[in-house]
Chains A and B, each alone.
Chain A
């Protein structure tokens, strides 16, 4: 028997592939996408489809243009599009959604480093760009079609089911009575982005990713925990702060993005606490929207530094130092 396969050791590999990991994240997001469409109407499905299509088509075109092997097979473009759509308002004009997808893929994923070497998370960066450029469209919220509709009609006087405001987190919205019920926060019956309101499904997705060992709990728990702790210290309602806005979605799916989070538990703890603290400071002490997004963006930029200072000592190093002194 000649010509056998002679690859070097090890001859075993773990079953997970990059693609299976991305697929797992997409699977965890699908319930959120469906719930978003059910809650905010089927127009949201068009927003999701636009983002995903833009991302995939542009990545494919880019690879052809650069004469590279197409990388759309690894599904990461699908994931970028899906995550971006889930963090956009439900009634966003489709052309804005398409621009968002283009910015995420072309500028932040492909131009600023290819897969694996992004400086900042493409979804977060694209969302911030959109919210700066299309300020009004990005901050127009739709009330859920379900039981909360009546609150909206009464608050917005008449049959208009659209709320305009900086963010549904603003004080007026709070006084308007949308957040009186934890249950409605938990079950996605509040205005917000397509995928960020249904906290229960986000937690289920989180548990799924933990079970599949795609992520570790360090970043989501430390980020959300920090926000809750600071809310408590500064006299805010911690449960409301945890469940509202994009915090949960971002903590579970965006802050944990492999390319833009530190390696190792210690670095991830620093990262999570940093994200949580900046989120809280922006929400509580500044009039700025996009607290979570800015927090993650800032911490993304600090990742190389965090990685450097948390470089672990290898097995047996301390003894070597002692020997040198002796």
Chain B
């Protein structure tokens, strides 16, 4: 098989940690959640995007109707995820403390798609960049100069999460087609799909599809990744697949790479072929407080409580709900919080799993340093931060931190090192500006 030949040996990185996978939902078919009664679609979905609502109370909307937009290229519009009427526009406070507009839509339960949606023809790089934005994806495709590698991340880096795995199993053809499309339009020489080496089923399946769809000149490589966390961090993903290292403060394009995850590729492909933008997300619902863990396709804006209700409800008294994986996800204060576009999992845990650990003094065991994939010494950075030595922070390469969480995870004194690293980075930044 040609793909097998191309499967490169992954480059191992220093540090990292091995986590118990807990992939309980890996072999369960993804199910589509029926329309909830109401959805709360926030005008801020991704990292940067902040939109203004373009509908008003009482408007009729359909699945895929644009409900929020703005002027900037990097911030994609927001679409309605159900059909029904706009019940109102209110303010919503994010866990970060930021207050954003939210469009509340009462569903009619029909999930009628917007009539105006039609397939999009993409012929040039500009078309594709516009299509990415119109699809509601906040990935930034660079304007092609010097890009030679397209990397598609098909790995679920964190425990519990299996949504990317399920999408690979269920949508393998679309993933390959979408990758070929982007590669062709942007004129990128190499395309690589990265999968962890313990997912033999995905490797076999994608390998077969690639053999079917590609010819010798226009092929896609498969990269087998290790399972060490944080293998899926962009910098380490690029190192594993191309051997290139990205310095701090530089973006991926400086080594000629573009990085997309399978979800983005799939949503883009769906938009180009059907005209339907991103209105739903595949999330893994798991954790020891959920009755029947499964992968669910959820309309954006559905309350977490509704999603968990669909998965059989809570098993025990829930103490923590994490949106995203357990290493980098956000804990939400209430289960009325809506599902956002960037989520790949909703994990609910009971008291036993969420015990707060008492912080003890640093014993200088050095485990944070030996687990840091960037080769930093978090405990020294923490000490320098507490003494207010900004120069020392810079000498300790604080700005290289990727906030993967390995240091906090491995600390036997349970110190909150990632938070300290974030503060140190902020301190360094403000110190530089002065």
Interface residues, chain A, CB within 8 Å of chain B? 1-14, 16-18, 20-21, 71, 74, 114-117, 258-259, 263-264, 307, 311-320, 323
Contact of B58 with A by CB under 8 A: no
Instruction: State A126–B206 Cα separation when bound (angstroms).
Output: 65
B346-364 at interface with A (beta carbon < 8 Å): 349, 354, 356-357, 360-364
A175 to B312, CA, bound (A): 81
Classify the secondary structure of A's interface with B.
Answer: loop
**5 tightest CB-CB pairs across the interface, nearest first?**
A10-B405, A320-B247, A316-B245, A314-B400, A263-B366
In the complex formed, the residue of B with least CB distance to A3 is B333
The interface centre, meaning the residue of A12, A17, A114, A320 with most chain B CB atoms within 10 A of its CB, is: A12
Known: A313-B375, A316-B247. A10 touches B364 (CB 8 A): no
Would you call A116 and B361 a contact (CB within 8 A)? yes
28 chain-A/chain-B pairs, Cβ below 8 angstroms? A1-B314, A1-B321, A4-B321, A5-B320, A5-B354, A6-B320, A7-B331, A8-B331, A8-B418, A9-B327, A10-B409, A11-B354, A12-B159, A13-B409, A13-B411, A14-B412, A18-B363, A74-B360, A259-B363, A263-B364, A263-B377, A313-B375, A314-B248, A314-B374, A315-B400, A316-B374, A317-B397, A323-B250
Residues of B within 8 A of A (CB): 13-14, 17, 19, 95, 159, 235, 239, 245-248, 250, 254, 305, 314, 318-322, 324, 326-335, 349, 354, 356-357, 360-367, 369-370, 373-377, 380, 396-397, 400, 405, 408-414, 416, 418-419
Docked-complex contact B320 and A4, CB < 8 angstroms: yes
Q: Do B369 and A264 touch (CB < 8 A)?
A: yes
Complex Cα distance A116/B320, Å? 32
Q: A2-B334, A17-B414, A114-B361 are in contact. Are A315 and B374 (CB under 8 A)?
A: yes
A4 with B333: in contact, given A20-B412, A21-B365 (CB under 8 Å)? Answer: yes
Residue from the list B330, B333, B370 in contact with A2, Cβ < 8 A: B333
Closest A residue, CB atoms, query B370:
A264
- CB closest residue in chain B, given A10: B405
Residues of A near B373 (CB, < 8 A) are: 315
Contact A315/B418 with A2-B333, A11-B331, A13-B408 known, Cβ cut-off 8 Å:
no
> In the bound complex, how far is the Cα of B382 from the Cα of A202, in angstroms?
35
B229 CB, min distance to chain A CBs, angstroms? 10
Which of B248, B362, B414, B419 has a CB less than 8 Å from the CB of A320?
Answer: B248
Give the distance in Å from the alpha carbon of A264 to the alpha carbon of B320 in the complex: 36
Pairwise interchain contact A6-B396, C-beta atoms closer than 8 A: no
List of A residues within 8 angstroms of B397 by Cβ: 314, 317
The distance in angstroms between the C-alpha atoms of A115 and B363, with both chains bound, is 7
From A3, A16, A312, B375 is in contact (CB under 8 Å) with A312
* A275 → chain B closest CB, angstroms: 18
* A254 nearest CB across to chain B (Å): 15
- Residues on B with C-beta less than 8 A from A21 are 363, 365, 412
Contact status of A17 and B412, CB under 8 A, knowing A12-B327, A317-B247, A319-B245: yes
Contacts of B377 in A (CB 8 A): 263, 311-312
Quick one: given A258-B366, A315-B235, are A6 and B247 in contact (CB under 8 Å)? no
User: How far, in angstroms, from A264 to B329 measured CA to CA in the complex?
Assistant: 30
Query: A1 is contacted by which of B318, B326, B375, B418 (Cβ under 8 Å)?
Result: B318
